[in-house]
Amino acid sequence: MLSEVRFEGVHKIFGAETAVEDLNLTVNAGEFLVLVGPSGCGKTTTLRMLAGLERPSYGRILIGDRLVNNVSPRFRDVAMVFQSYALYPHMNVYDNLAFGMRARGAAGSVVAERVKETADVLGLGHLLKRRPSELSGGQRQRVALGRALIRQPQVFLMDEPLSNLDAGLRVQMRAELSRLHERFRVTTLYVTHDQVEAMTMGDRIAVMNLGRLQQVDAPETLYDNPANIFVAGFIGSPRMNFVPGRLTTTQGKTAIEFLGVKTPISAGSQLTGETTGGEVTVGLRPEDLMWGRVASPDSTLTVSAEVDVVEPMGHEAYVTAVCAGETVTSRFPPRSGVRTRERVELALNPARLHLFDARSGRTILQRPVAGGADVRRTVREARKEEPAEGRSDLQRQTGARGAPSRAEEIS
């Protein structure tokens, strides 16, 4: 059974500290929602409130139609994967997996069958007799997952489950988690501070900062239309460049003036907000700020900059340059031969600019969603609507293979 999860006006106050402020968030039934934000932003507190480990100071938390504010964790029918895994060290893998079912009074034969099933899904079959201390990090992670999976709960909660794994294993487990979610479709709330995990795994992403929810959207929407400077700066690596600018008019159209150049707002975008005194912050993604020599034809705006730092990454290079007194980062092709203190031409597409109110930090420009992202979204959603039985194993595998490739693309 799939259940949605709703937070309605939830606050959590610890002494004088407000950890979560007026949270209104719905996790749709069967959705994989990633809660992302810097440390201390209240995301883990939110998760713990849903698990029942913390009680909200105000507001309502609902699982399905049931108000769970005063329901103890034991009766909430949620399963949680802890950052530390929290495996029972004195029990072997079998007993770790079986613990939850036994606690709920399942018969021995049922438990044995489910443990076997779950162990097979996660490739733990040969490890059932081992203690957690005899397992590798990745295996422990799997046991922790299995302990959650086996219960078939209404909601999965994951608290940075991949942060203790090394980089390679993390990429692999990321794909595996996506695959498991494709397969079981359990409503999932996944907490992480890693934006790559958020982008690659989430059906939707909720960004939090300082206890407040900043924006909830599909990954591509979040990337293309961040609601404010915080979201814009948090999602995307390298970080979006922010430079001061002014709103003016040119030939009767609204235009933006920044980095010593002036450009009218492009046709597809529209201003959605007022600014105080025309002061704006202009946001430029490093990949939209291209080296003049290799820029695409629609990058019509060029600025001159002096290279400060070149960071070769192999498949590309990040170039930090100073342009009209502002430091900006740009993505260059590999082996561009550009050196420190060299003057280069940077080109940018006016249609790819982000505009924020300089005072409030809120976005004032609605941009069209990029075409590629839109298509991918539809494919994914179409897959979701297909009945699971109708799909062959082969198709399922292709679907699963899609996930890591998407992960690689963004990381």
Is residue 115 part of the contact set for another protein (CB under 8 A)?
no
CB-neighbour burial class of residue 396 (10 A; exposed 0-12, middle 13-18, buried 19+) = middle
The answer to whether 346 and 300 are in contact (CB under 8 A) is no
Is residue 53 part of the contact set for another protein (CB under 8 A)?
yes
Question: Which CB atom, from 133 or from 296, has the smaller least distance to another protein?
Answer: 133
Q: How far is the CB of 112 from another protein (least distance, A)?
A: 17
Question: Which CB atom, from 108 or from 260, has the smaller least distance to another protein?
Answer: 108
The answer to whether 41 and 211 are in contact (CB under 8 A) is yes
Among 134, 298, 381, 409, binds another protein (CB under 8 A): 134
Omega within 30 of 0 (cis) for the link into 334: no
Site map for another protein, 285-314, x if CB under 8 A? Answer: ------------------------------
* 272 half-sphere exposure, CB direction, 13 A CA radius: 15
Q: Which stretch binds another protein (CB under 8 A): 24-32, 49-57, 307-315, 317-325?
A: 49-57
Is residue 142 part of the contact set for another protein (CB under 8 A)?
no
Tokens 């719905």 locate to: 26
Among 9, 38, 88, 260, binds another protein (CB under 8 A): 88
The answer to whether 79 and 100 are in contact (CB under 8 A) is yes
Q: Which residues contact 3 (CB under 8 A, 6 or more apart)?
A: 29, 63, 64, 154, 155, 187
Q: Which stretch binds another protein (CB under 8 A): 85-93, 319-327, 328-336, 340-348?
A: 85-93
Give the largest Cα separation in the chain, rounded. Answer: 79
User: How many whole angstroms separate alpha carbon 50 and alpha carbon 190?
Assistant: 12
Q: How far is the CB of 154 from another protein (least distance, A)?
A: 12
Among 27, 35, 63, 80, binds another protein (CB under 8 A): 80
Among 147, 174, 354, 367, binds another protein (CB under 8 A): 147
Question: Which CB atom, from 88 or from 293, has the smaller least distance to another protein?
Answer: 88
The answer to whether 109 and 168 are in contact (CB under 8 A) is no
Question: Which CB atom, from 90 or from 401, has the smaller least distance to another protein?
Answer: 90
* 214 half-sphere exposure, CB direction, 13 A CA radius: 29
Is residue 51 part of the contact set for another protein (CB under 8 A)?
yes
Binding site for another protein (CB under 8 A): 51-53, 72-76, 78-80, 82, 84-90, 99-100, 103-104, 131-135, 137, 140, 147, 151, 164
